[in-house]
């Protein structure tokens, strides 16, 4: 059998993942899933391996789980019927509560066993991950809906965030089931989505991941990769998402409103979805953010690292002129950047030549994976706006590789003589850049 291992692809992937590894260390992620996920044994084992990997990378992990199908099975085995009130909420009577305790207890042991697995040749080899569980959730009864008392079905009343944080600090993975306890000593059956949302808010989590059966798709059936809270709200109103996804998305939105930075919907049917969603640019799920993830703004000194990562390869292949790093830092005020989810993916500068009432549009770069999305055009627009505010009448650019791009943006070809005198003196005839001018 010939090996399909591609060392180049592997190294490229590993490097692509590096910024995420840095960004995620010591951050708190809440990963939430229903009992359906645990029932699919093979997939679940792989998922737990990925969880271990995340823990090994220094991410503080809280796993929240449900047990709807398992509770259902327990009741069925006892010849009992599940009862639901309006909105699909289970009526948890005494008998159902026994089934909940049994199903949840069994699941806890099984999850702990999987997290403890450290067989040689498995991704868990050498892993020493401790799991903590406990009475972190205080609950209260849901109450009565349309005359039906939901009995032991409850709502989260309080999360003991300090206790969870202490366990995370000790390097443990925290497992929180869909169970809560009341000060009167009662046990309540909770919706795991409610628990996940409350835990994520209480811990001010950086991410909340919901595993679900279906993801939101566009008109072509393609998974929608990113949604703002407002777009997600509009999608919910359409009512086309299915019960599980609707519930997950509603709780994701509440979590964002409560201060959680990012929520993700991830399909439990996609192999390796956790890693693909977290460590690749394109992801495989739907990321929901309070505000748009991409932002065009004036550059700051802290952006220099990200800007260099973008322009260095272009300097190396001669597309951009090499800039002195100190000068770049001094002139950072001339730059705009486009930030996408915390990563600098585009930059450009406007260098004013006030005497000639003109300005140079320079150092334009967009990260290869983000090209053809209009970022280049947005950067020109930003520079045009700034130039107008400075009473600049003419924008010029020098390029060796992107002539047609500038034509598309409304620039016209010109001679070096069209440059302001100060700039003409610096024109590098050997480089032979083409000159483009745009009246604004
Ligand atoms: C040039 C560059 C900034 C464009 O960024 P972008 O965000 O992809 O640009 P936009 O999305 O606004 O425009 C994309 C369009 O420009 C075209 N285009 C991209 N690069 C081009 C180039 N070098 N020459 C001609 N056309 C180009 C694309 O084909 C696309 O056209 P289409 O919409 O008809 O398919 C980007 O390709 C880049 O960083 N290139 C390397 C650095 C560089 O050349 N900088 C300019 C030096 S002054």
Residues 258 and 299 in one domain: no
Q: Which among 292, 309, 326 is the end of a domain?
A: 292
Closest atom of ligand 1 to CA, residue 363: 48
Closest atom of ligand 1 to CA, residue 348: 3
> What is residue 2's predicted lDDT score, i.e. its pLDDT?
52
Residues 370 and 355 in one domain: yes
Q: Which among 250, 273, 292 is the end of a domain?
A: 292
> What is residue 19's predicted lDDT score, i.e. its pLDDT?
81
Asked if the structure places residue 355 within a domain, the reply is yes
Residues 417 and 343 in one domain: yes
Asked if the structure places residue 122 within a domain, the reply is yes
Residues 71 and 135 in one domain: yes
Residues 215 and 122 in one domain: yes
User: Distance (Å, rounded) from C-alpha 317 to C-alpha 327?
Assistant: 21
Per the structure, how many domains does the chain have? 2
Task: Report whether residue 373 contacts ligand 1, using a CB cutoff of 6 Å.
Answer: yes
> What is residue 229's predicted lDDT score, i.e. its pLDDT?
94
Residues 259 and 318 in one domain: no
Closest atom of ligand 1 to CA, residue 372: 11
> What is residue 1's predicted lDDT score, i.e. its pLDDT?
46
Ligand 1, from 371, 383, 435, 438: best to mutate by most atoms within 8 Å of Cβ? 371
pTM of the entire predicted model? 0.74
Asked if the structure places residue 2 within a domain, the reply is no
Average pLDDT along the chain, 440 residues, taken 10 residues at a time: 77 85 93 94 90 92 96 93 84 95 94 78 70 96 92 97 97 96 96 97 97 94 94 94 94 96 95 93 92 90 94 94 92 96 92 96 94 94 96 96 95 95 92 95
Domain that holds residue 196: 7-292
- The residue whose two tokens read 């009526």 is 91
Q: What is the CATH number of the domain that holds 354?
A: 3.40.630.30
Q: Which among 292, 319, 344 is the end of a domain?
A: 292
Task: Report whether residue 374 contacts ligand 1, using a CB cutoff of 6 Å.
Answer: yes
Asked if the structure places residue 1 within a domain, the reply is no
Asked if the structure places residue 336 within a domain, the reply is yes
Task: Report whether residue 317 contacts ligand 1, using a CB cutoff of 6 Å.
Answer: no
- Interior angle at CA 278, CA 272 and CA 279, nearest 5: 90
Residues 177 and 192 in one domain: yes
Q: Indicate the SS3 state at residue 363.
A: strand
Residues 276 and 384 in one domain: no
Alpha-carbon torsion angle 116, 117, 118, 119, nearest 10: 160
Residues 288 and 299 in one domain: no
* Partners of 179 in beta bridges: 189
User: Which helix or strand (DSSP H or E) is residue 267 part of?
Assistant: strand 262-267
Residues 187 and 201 in one domain: yes
Q: What is the CATH number of the domain that holds 11?
A: 3.40.1160.10
> What is residue 118's predicted lDDT score, i.e. its pLDDT?
66
Residues 352 and 254 in one domain: no
Give the 3-state secondary structure percentages of the chain, helix then strand then coil, rounded to 5: 45, 25, 30
Residues 277 and 301 in one domain: no
- Interior angle at CA 105, CA 104 and CA 110, nearest 5: 95
Report how far ligand 1's centroid is from the alpha carbon of 356 (Å): 28
Ligand 1, from 312, 346, 376, 406: best to mutate by most atoms within 8 Å of Cβ? 376
């Amino acid at each position: 059998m010939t090996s399909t291992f591609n060392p180049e692809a592997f190294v490229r992937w590993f490097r692509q993942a590096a910024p995420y590894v840095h960004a995620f260390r010591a951050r708190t992620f809440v990963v939430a899933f229903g009992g359906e996920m645990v029932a699919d044994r093979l997939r679940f084992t792989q998922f737990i391996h990925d969880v271990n990997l995340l823990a090994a990378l220094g991410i503080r992990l809280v796993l929240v789980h449900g047990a709807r199908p398992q509770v259902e099975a327990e009741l069925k085995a006892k010849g009992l019927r599940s009862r639901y009130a309006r909105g699909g909420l289970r009526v948890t009577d005494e008998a159902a509560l026994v089934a909940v305790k049994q199903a949840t207890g069994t699941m806890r042991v099984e999850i702990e066993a999987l997290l403890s697995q450290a067989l040689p040749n498995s991704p868990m080899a050498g892993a020493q991950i401790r799991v903590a569980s406990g009475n972190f959730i205080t609950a209260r009864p849901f109450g009565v809906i349309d005359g039906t008392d939901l009995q032991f079905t409850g709502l989260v009343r309080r999360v003991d965030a300090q206790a969870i944080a202490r366990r995370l600090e000790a390097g443990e993975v925290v497992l929180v089931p869909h169970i809560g306890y009341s000060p009167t000593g009662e046990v309540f059956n909770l919706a795991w989505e409610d628990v996940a949302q409350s835990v994520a808010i209480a811990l001010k989590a950086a991410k909340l991941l919901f595993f679900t059966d279906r993801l939101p798709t566009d008109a072509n059936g393609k998974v929608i990769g990113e949604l703002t809270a407002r777009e997600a709200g509009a999608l919910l109103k359409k009512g086309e998402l299915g019960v599980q996804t609707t519930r997950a998305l509603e709780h994701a939105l509440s979590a964002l409103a409560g201060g959680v930075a990012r929520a993700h919907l991830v399909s439990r049917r996609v192999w390796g979805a956790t890693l693909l969603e977290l460590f690749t640019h394109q992801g495989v799920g739907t990321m929901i953010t309070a505000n748009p993830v991409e932002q065009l703004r004036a550059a700051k000194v802290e952006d220099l690292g990200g800007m260099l990562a973008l322009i260095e390869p272009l300097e190396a292949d001669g597309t951009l002129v090499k800039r002195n790093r100190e000068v770049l830092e001094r002139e950072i005020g001339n730059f705009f950047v486009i930030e996408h989810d915390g990563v600098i993916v585009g930059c450009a500068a406007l260098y004013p030549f006030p005497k000639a009432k003109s300005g140079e549009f320079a150092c334009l770069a967009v990260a290869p994976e983000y090209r053809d999305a209009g970022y280049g055009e947005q950067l020109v627009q930003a520079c045009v706006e700034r130039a107008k505010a400075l009473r600049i009448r003419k924008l010029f650019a020098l390029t060796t590789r992107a002539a047609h791009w500038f034509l598309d943006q409304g620039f016209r070809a010109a001679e070096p003589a069209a440059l302001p005198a100060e700039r003409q003196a610096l024109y590098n005839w050997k480089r032979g850049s083409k000159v483009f001018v745009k009246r604004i």
